[in-house]
Structure formats: structure tokens, C-alpha cells
Amino acid sequence: MAGLDAIIYRKQPSRLDRILAQPHRYIAQTLYRLQPTVALPNPDRLGNSSIASSNELKVVCISDTHNNQFQDIPDSDILVHAGDITENGTIEELQKSIDWLDSLPHKYKVVIAGNHDRCLDPNHKSPSNGAVNWKGLLYLQDSSIVLNIPGKSRAVKIYGNPSSPKHGTSTFQYPRSEDFWKNKVPEDVDILVTHAPPRYHLDSNAGCASLIQEIWRVRPKLHIFGHIHSGRGTEVLAYDQFQRRYERLSEKEHVVVNIILMLWYLAIKFLYSICRIDPKNGETILVNATMIGHDFNIHLPAAPRPINCCIVIFRLNKYFPLEIPKWYAKALAMYTKGIDRVVPIVQGRMGQYKLAMLDREFSSTFLAWNQYGVKLDRAQVVLEDKEYAPMAK
């Protein structure tokens, strides 16, 4: 295990080393940490209860266990393992870890592979590859699953993919320069599970640039990953201009301009925080759930546990407010007079809503409604109201 030890417990660069190596990156990280924190639901308020309310989901996140079998992992609605189940990738190691995971009390256990799990890679030919008995585990490999959890207000969609940027001779890898993740993740996913982290977020500067772009497109509620042991912890990615400028400054793009803009948007965020204003840009909880290595690098209060697993609670309808402002409803009603037909849309990741197909194109100015979690493209969310046409059966 000497090679794995070298990766997990490698000496971290000092602050001076980071400043000298990448001053722009150090400034970006420093400003990023100054932003007001987003208060996540605290799992401690549930006590020993494993189940959250009907509008919340409690998820235990683990990753990179490398044959280790941890005890006393708390119960929850869902357990997610983000890969590197084994150390050497043999079928024997994998089956032992599956037996351990299956013994845990969680009803739903979602698992993906990692770059160490060679026996699960169909492109890796080995005499040790054989049939795997997944027992009660749900294994995802570039696939998704919809869970109808009893007592929840709606179903939850989870997508999992084990791929990570190429490094060495491990498995499930793609060239770092490749736009691997483009349009790969379903748009309606709630929980995204990957082995690799996104670029510039809990990644020790080793994350994937293609993945962060895909996250901006899909905007899942929760993204669980691992792979980079030194980056483990939690963070909330807010889809705003401050976030954009942070990522551009990290890329060393227009350094002075982006430093100034980060300071400007940081001041705005503090103003919003003081005035208790929610800009409703949407956000994703990021969890680097590696179980062994350095101490947690916690950026936000997501209640890590001494056993090094992370518990996250998120609201199922967080991005779709239950009450839409009256001015928005009136403007919407005026703009949707040309309704051709109304079709039902089942509960999606933004909650229950109807979709009205219009007989004309939408002007670009109306795309501003996405601040309420609405995606517009020749379609418009319509409030349930008696004056609207009845829903098609």
C-alpha cells in the first residue's frame, strides 16, 4: 500500500509555496472563502432519526474506502459511494466491500466505480474479472436511476459515472483535454455522482474543466465525488457572477479585471446577506467524500462525522419557490395569451408544474425568468389557475 499512501498522505504545499506557484489562484481562493456561507439544513436536528421530512432528503456520502470497512455509519434516506471501492481492483476485494456495504442499514445504496476498480471496467481484460453479486446495491456506470422513496414529496433521479481525467495507467479514464462531459448528464438529475471532482472545487487543482461546465448546464442539487483525497470537504456552488469570476480568475483569465469584479460581487453578496435577500440563482451542494487521508477541509457546515463520512440534507423543491411573485404571475399571464395547448408535466427536479406549448417563439428577454428555476425554450411554465385551458388527458 506504499503507492496509495504516497498519494493519500503526500505533503501539502505551504501557503508561501502556493502564493509563489500560482498567485492568481491563491487570490481567487482567498476571495472565494470570504463569501457569506450558505446555511445548509443541519443533520443534527434529526437526532438519531435516519429519515428527513417529506420535502428533504438525507444522504450519507462516502468515497475512496480502498478496502476499508468503516463502522457506525449513520443511517439515512440514501447512501452514496463515489468510487474507489477497492485498492487493487480485484474481484475478491470488490466482493468483500460489497458484502460490507450491503450489511449497512440504508435501504437505498448507490455505488459507482473509481479508477482503482479495474475489475468493473469492461475495457480492462483480466482473468480476475468475473461475475459480481451486487446484492442490495444499485451500481451506476454512465447510467441513472429514479428512486421513489416512501414518504417523500417526489421521486429522486441519480446519475453516476466513474470516469476521471487520465493520470497514470488506472482505469475508467479519458484524456484531460477532452470535453468528455459535454451533454452527458441528464438535465433532470437531482444527485450527480462522479469519481472525479469538478475543476477548482475541492480538487487540489486537479479537477476536470469539462465537468464543471456540465454542472453549470445541468445544475444538480447535490454533486458527490472523491478521487482527490486532499480536497475532501463540502462546498456550495452558487450560480452567480461571483462564481463565474472566481473560475475565470482561477484560469488566469484577465487577472486584474476579474479580481476587481470578484471584489464587487463579493460586496453585493454581503449586502444580500445583511438584507436577507435570496437572489434565487440556484446552487449545488458539492461533497468530496473521500474517507481516508488528510483531515476534512470543511468550507461550509455540512456536519462531517468523526468516521469521516459526510451527511447532507437538501430540499427537494429548493429551486422552485412555492409562491411566485404576483408581478411575475401577471406578466406570465399576459405573455401566454397565445396558448395553443397545455400538456401535463409530472413532478420534476423543480417541483410540480405545467408546460404550455406556445404558437410563437419566446423573446430573449423572457429568458430572465430562469432566476425562478424555469427553463424557457418555446415553452413556458404556467400557474395552475381556472382561467387557463384545462390540462390534456
* pLDDT tens-digit series, residues 277-286: 777 678 888 9
CA-to-CA distance for 118 and 91, rounded, in angstroms? 9
CA-to-CA distance for 366 and 120, rounded, in angstroms? 46
Amino acid 130: pLDDT: 62
Residue numbers of the chain with a pLDDT score lower than 70:
1-12, 37-53, 125-130, 280, 293-309, 314-393
**pTM recorded for the entire structure:** 0.74
289: its cell numbers: 467524500
199: its cell numbers: 475543476
11: its cell numbers: 505533503
266: its cell numbers: 463579493
CA-to-CA distance for 347 and 280, rounded, in angstroms? 20
Q: Which residues pair with 355 in a beta bridge?
A: 343, 381
Contacts of residue 246, Cβ cutoff 8 Å, sequence gap at least 6: 28, 31, 32, 200, 262
Amino acid of residue 282:
G
DSSP percent split of the chain into helix, strand, coil, nearest 5? 25, 20, 50
Q: Which residues pair with 379 in a beta bridge?
A: 357
- For the chain, give every domain's residue range: 36-239+282-315, 326-382
Residue reference for cell 441513472: 144
Amino acid of residue 91:
I
The answer to whether 31 and 49 have CB atoms below 8 angstroms apart is no
What are the two backbone dihedrals, phi and then psi, of residue 224, each rounded to the nearest 5 degrees?
A: -110, 135
Q: Which residues pair with 339 in a beta bridge?
A: 358
For 363, which DSSP code?
A: P
> How many residues are given for the chain?
393
CATH number of 36-239+282-315: 3.60.21.10
